[in-house]
Structures are given as C-alpha cells and as structure tokens.
Amino acid sequence: MLKLLYIDDEINSLFLFKELFKKWFTVYTLDDPTKAFDLISKEGINVLITDYLMPGMNGLELAQKLHESFPTVIVIILTAYDDRDIMLQAINMGSIYRYTLKPWNVDELKHIIDSAFDSYELRKRNIHLINDLLAQNKRLQQAYNEISLLKERLEEENIQLKEEFFDPNDSGEIIGQSKSIQQLLKLIKQVAKSDTAILLTGETGTGKELFAKAIHTLSNRKDKLLIRVNCAAIPETLIESELFGYEKGAFTGADKLKYGKFEIANGGSLLLDEIGELPLTTQPKLLRVLQESEFERLGGNKLISTNFRLIAATNRNLEQAVEKGTFRQDLFYRINILPITIPPLRDHAEDIPLLVNHFISSLNKEEGKIINSIAKKTMDRLMEYHWPGNIRELQNVIERAHVLSTGSKLEIGDWFNVVGNKSIIDTTIVSLEENEKQHILRALEQTKWKIRGKNGTAELLQIKPTTLESRMQKLGIQRPK
C-alpha cells in the first residue's frame, strides 16, 4: 500500500485525516515538521501533505528542503489563504506538486492524492532514468579520458620514435669495447630488472640518455613507454604542469584537460634528465610522488595513482648541491639508491675508433654520401684530443668533417687544432652551420647554381639533390636574382 504522511500542528486535524484516508493508504501523521526527514528516510514515504502555516517551519520551507534530500517525494500544501503567486512559484520550481485551500473536501483531496501517487511513480522513473544517463555519461567520460590518455601516450611515443628515426647517430646500442664500458654494461644488465630508482651521473655528452634507454629496454617495463623530461629545458613556471598535468580551467589558458608525464609514464619508465636543475619548489612534490605513487593534477582534487620506474640523470654534483641548499637532501637520498657513473670519453679513449666508424656509417646512410676511409694521422689527432664535450663533441666533429670532406676520405681541416691535451676546436672559426653554408655556396658558385644532373652541385658534394635542397632551405641559401 502506498505511504502517505500528513503534517499539521492541530492534533484534531491529524486524527480526522488518518481516520478518513487509512482505508486507501498507509497513513502517518506528525505535528512537528522537523521530524519529517527521519520518518521519510525510515518508512519510505511516497506523498507528503502539509499545512502551510506551522510554528518553526512553514510548509513551503519544508517542501524546499525535502526536495533537496528526497526528490521523489510528492508534496501537497494545504492553506487557508489563497497565496496563489507564492504557490505557483513553488510549483514552477518543482518544490511542490499542488496546493489546495482549506477546508478540504475528502473526495477532491482523494483525487489529488491519487494523482500525486501517479506523479510519484513517473518522477521515480524519471529520476532513475536521469541517474542511469548520468552514470552512462560518467562511464563515457571515463572512456573518453582513457582514450585521451592513450592518445597522449601514443603522441609521446611517436615524438620519441621520430626523434630516434631522425637521429642518424642513435643506433639504440652502446658502442664500446673498453673495460670500463663493458663493466658498465654488466652493471646495467644487473640492475635493469629491478624497479629501484637509478641515478646516472657523468659529464655533459657522455651518453646518459642512451644508457637510460638501455636500462629501460632491458627492464620488465620494456613494452611500455620511456618518457623523457629535460628539467633544464622547461621554464620553472611550466615544469609542474608538464609533470603533473592539469584540469580544464585550472588556470588561464587551460582550455582542456592535460595529462602530465607522471600519468603518461604509468607502467613504464620516467627519465628526468638534468634533475639537478629541478626547481626547489618542485622537489618536495616530486618526492611525494616517488614515496606515495600518487598525485593530483593542477586544479584537481582527485588522487591519481601511478607506477613508473624513475631514472634520473645529471652532470651536476648533487652532494655539493645539497650542501649549498639548491637540492633537497631527502630527495637526493630517494633517487641515489642505485648510482651509476658514466665515464668521460678520455677515460676510455680506446673506444674512439669504434665511435668514429659508427658515426661515419650512420651519416653515410643519412646523407647519401660515402666516406669509406680515414687517415691514420687524422685518427691520431682524434685520439690525442681531450674531448671536454665527450661523445657528443666527437659526434659533432665527425658530422662537421663529413659535411666538409670532398672525397671518400674523412678530412679534418685546420679548424680542429690539437695542442697537447687541452686542445679545442678553433673558436675563431665560424660555427658549423655557417661553415657548411659557405662550403655549399662555394660549390654552387663553381657549378653556376646547377643543383641536379651531371656536373651539378649535388654530384660535386657527393650528396643526394634532395638532401642538398633540404640543406639549402635550412641554411637560408637562395639563388641570387
């Protein structure tokens, strides 16, 4: 039987109402409107009829509060006054179903109550439908978020794949047969399978990123992404949004949800390169993520779980940074569990010939230009050099020499002068790009700006015409008018 609650501060009215309507409905009565909430919650009331004027809380106030807590309950108000405007406003707002004037007629009120129970069933179905739609919308939103996250991860992967594809000198392998490099490779294979944080240290250009890639490739996370973040290349004001991501509307310009590197790296590895440059304000937040494996996006209040293997890299002495107060001691202890030092090139100079041949081979494939030999005198000069820029500097020197060599033999000109151990590339000479530009311009003038075909500039430089045109565009070389 349908349940009906009648509220009135007049005891006689309560008794009369119950006697008249109990044959049709399960009738409950109250003389205190404040007790209605507990009763409705306990008994599951369908329809409520209340007097308008009551001490403490009038019928309209009660209806408005009930509508917030029990939206399916139908409210009918009895009033001795024809407050038409007030009641119509309440009906339009959805607070009450109907109002009727006192004294009420049994048959008329019974008709109104019957209609109210019909509305109750309709309202209940509508609310269930709305809840179902909201739940469905929530599921769709979750699916959309998952798809968006997957898209972000795919974009990250594509970017990194492109970087590797267009880098002619990155084979994905560590080149070296020296004892120090072989010992390092043995250590990497040993620690790669764990999830413990690794700190790669070493001078600029020693190949820390390549070692990080090797660790990830040998780990149990190899099927997931290795996400790279250069802490020195991101402005301090943007580093947290890059790492944590942000919710739509978190700040001016945040017009959509953005996933951070912590979230994208979930299941994989996260390389924080140049971690020594991480702002002090961000360091404790990173520490919390490493300790708790959870974080919040900027502008959000939902904790997001993440599980990544941290690989940190730096050319700075972090112990000295801790003493100076520029790097947190607790964060240093957290990332320094498995420290690995990459030796400078001068400490494994016996690997230089291998590296040189590797760089030449890669450049030959990329440029379509064949260099198949290198003079012993040239190699001796390379072996004598101190290489303060390490493998990266060696790579740049070989690329420069590859571009400027006119035959099949690698030539290193006077721009590379060795003076004892401290020799450096002649800094009075123009940059590599400018040197390359001048070299190409001289060749173009010699061929009267003929690029393709026999006796053309491309043939003279022993490179593909498309490669030459690409270089010309990059260097801003235009045919004179």
Q: What is the pLDDT of residue 481?
A: 64
Coil vs helix vs strand at 390: helix
Question: How far apart are alpha carbons 60 and 88 in whole angstroms?
Answer: 11
Find the mean pLDDT for residues 418-422: 48
Mean pLDDT on 241-268? 90
pLDDT above 70: residue 145: yes
In this structure, the answer to whether residues 326 and 360 fall within a common structural domain is no
Same-domain status, 74 and 180: no
* Long-range contacts (CB closer than 8 Å, 24 or more residues apart) made by 188-195: 188/214, 188/215, 188/218, 188/340, 189/218, 191/215, 191/338, 191/340, 192/216, 192/218, 192/219, 193/218, 193/219, 193/220, 194/338, 195/309
- In a domain? residue 418: yes
List all residues 6 or more positions away from 168 whose beta carbon is below 8 Å from its beta carbon: 362, 363, 365, 366
Give the tens place of pLDDT for each residue, 366-416: 888 889 899 888 898 899 898 988 999 999 999 988 888 888 899 887 778
* pLDDT band for position 86 (cuts 50, 70, 90): low
How many helices (H) and strands (E) the chain has is answered by: 18, 16
In this predicted structure, the answer to whether residue 239 has a pLDDT above a threshold of 90 is: yes
Residue 145: inside a domain = no
| Statement: residue 231 has pLDDT above 80 | yes
If one compares 431 and 260, the residue with the highest pLDDT of the two is 260
Residues 229, 230, 234: CA angle, nearest 5 degrees: 100
Give yes or no: residues 300 and 390 share one domain: no
Whether residue 340 contacts residue 199, with contact meaning beta carbons closer than 8 Å, is answered with yes
User: Residue 418 above 70 pLDDT?
Assistant: no
Task: Show the tokens assigned to 416.
Answer: 């590379």
Domain termination site, one of 298, 324, 343:
343
Q: Classify residue 152: in a domain, yes or no.
A: no
Residue ending a domain, among 327, 343, 359, is 343
Residue 158 confidence (pLDDT): 61
Give me the phi and psi of 392, to 5 degrees please: -65, -40
Grade residue 170 by pLDDT with cuts at 50, 70 and 90: very low
Mean pLDDT score across all residues of the chain: 84
Residues 174 and 295 in one domain: yes
Amino acid at 256: K
Q: What is the pLDDT of residue 417?
A: 67
* Of residues 312 and 164, more confidently modeled: 312
Alpha helix locations (H) across 44-195? 59-69, 84-93, 106-166, 179-191
CA 9 to each of CA 6, 15, 35, 54, 99: distance values in angstroms, whole numbers, following the listed order: 10, 11, 12, 6, 18
Q: What is the CATH number of the domain that holds 34?
A: 3.40.50.2300
Average pLDDT estimate for 44-71: 80
- Within-domain flag for 134: no
Summarize the confidence of residues 147-165 as an average pLDDT.
60
Q: Residue 106: how many CB atoms within 10 A of its CB?
A: 11
pLDDT of residue 422: 46
In this prediction, residue 94 carries a pLDDT of: 60
Predicted pLDDT of residue 149: 73
Partners of 50 in beta bridges:
7, 77
pLDDT value of residue 159 = 57
Residues 414 and 319 in one domain: no
Is residue 305 located within the same domain as residue 189? yes
Distance CA 306, CA 270 (A): 11
Alpha-carbon distance values, 98 to 17, 27, 266, 356, 452 (Å): 18, 19, 56, 90, 90
Q: Residue 187 falls within a domain, yes or no?
A: yes
| Domain identity same for 74 and 174 | no
Whether 136 is covered by a domain: the verdict is no
Partnered with residue 385 across adjacent β-strands are: none
Is the domain of 339 the same as that of 383? no
CB contact at 8 A, 106 and 20: yes
Q: Are residues 328 and 409 in the same domain?
A: no
Distance CA 471, CA 477 (A): 8
How many CA atoms are closer than 13 Å to the CA of 198, on its beta-carbon side? 28
Q: What pLDDT, on the 0 to 100 scale, is given for residue 340?
A: 96
Q: Quote the CA–CA distance of 445 and 452 in Å, as a whole number.
A: 14
Residue 159 included in any domain: no
- Classify 199 as helix, strand or coil: strand
Of 29-43, 106-120, 168-182, 456-470, which gets the smallest average pLDDT?
A: 168-182
Q: Which of 29-43, 114-128, 230-244 has the lowest mean pLDDT?
A: 114-128
What mean pLDDT do residues 10-31 have?
87
Strands of the sheet with 3-7, listed across from one edge: 26-30, 3-7, 47-51, 74-79, 98-101
Mean pLDDT confidence for 30-55? 83
Number of domains in the chain: 3
- Position 424 pLDDT exceeds 60: no
Of 153-162, 176-185, 202-211, the one with minimum mean pLDDT is 153-162
Report the pLDDT value the prediction gives residue 297, as an integer from 0 to 100: 93
What per-residue confidence (pLDDT) applies to 156?
60
Angle value at C-alpha 382, between 381 and 384, nearest 5 degrees: 65
Residues 189, 306, single domain; the answer is: yes
Looking at the fold, whether 334 and 355 belong to one and the same domain comes out as no
- The answer to whether residue 176 is domain-embedded is yes
- Picking from 70, 95, 125, the residue at the C-terminal end of a domain is 125
For residue 47, which of 34, 32, 36, 38 has the smallest C-alpha distance?
36
The confidence score (pLDDT) of residue 161 equals 45
Q: State the residue range of the domain holding 63.
A: 3-125
Same domain, 331 and 363: no
Can you give the pTM of this predicted structure?
Answer: 0.58
CATH number at residue 406: 1.10.8.60
The answer to whether residue 165 scores a pLDDT higher than 50 is no
Provide mean pLDDT across the span 465-474.
81
Residue pLDDT, tens place only, 118-144: 787 777 777 777 777 778 888 877 777
